[in-house]
Amino acid sequence: MTKHIGTWELVRLEAVDVDGASVVPAPFGDGNYIGRVVLTADRLSSTITDARPVLADGEIREYSCYTGLYTFDGETLITRVDQCSDPARMGTEQVRDVTFEDDLMALRPPMQSYGDRPAEQRTLWWRKISDV
């Protein structure tokens, strides 16, 4: 399976609370973000930026990037992080459930907290923009 190989842009994301019942405020700004994932035959590189020009008082701008060698069995993508923006990720395995919906690839990390946000389940939808 190689349809995942290429460059993907982030086109939609959402998060739900721990019960899965309520949508929580959008991570990385409400639709104002820049995201790219590049998957080669063996390496993933991912960057997501909150691109809002101005933040409300007390808000913190999210930024995430990491890269590493990965394995993909058609359903689960596991990246062994060897470079990253968050030192806590160094050397970890980043696990994502993967589904393909029409021309989109959906990645779902495990339920977790991000910064000062309560635990949430995120889903990120990516559209392929290049085969490389």
The string of DSSP letters for the chain reads --TT-EEEEEEEEEEE-TTS-SBPPPTTSSS-EEEEEEE-SSEEEEEEEE--SS--TT----EEEEEEEEEE-SSEEEEEEEEESSGGGTT-EEEEEEEEETTEEEEEPPSB--TTSPPBEEEEEEEEEE--
- Mean pLDDT over 24-53 rounds to 89
Q: Note the pLDDT of residue 114.
A: 65
pLDDT of residue 115: 65
pLDDT more than 70, % of the chain:
95
Distance separating alpha carbons of residues 111 and 132, to the nearest angstrom: 30
Percent of the chain surpassing pLDDT 90? 62
The class that CATH gives domain 6-130 is mainly beta
Amino acid at 125: W
User: What pTM was computed for the model?
Assistant: 0.88
**pLDDT tens track for 56-115:** 888 888 889 999 999 999 999 999 999 999 999 999 999 999 999 999 999 999 987 766
Give the domain ranges of the chain.
Answer: 6-130
pLDDT tens-digit profile of 116-126?
667 788 899 99
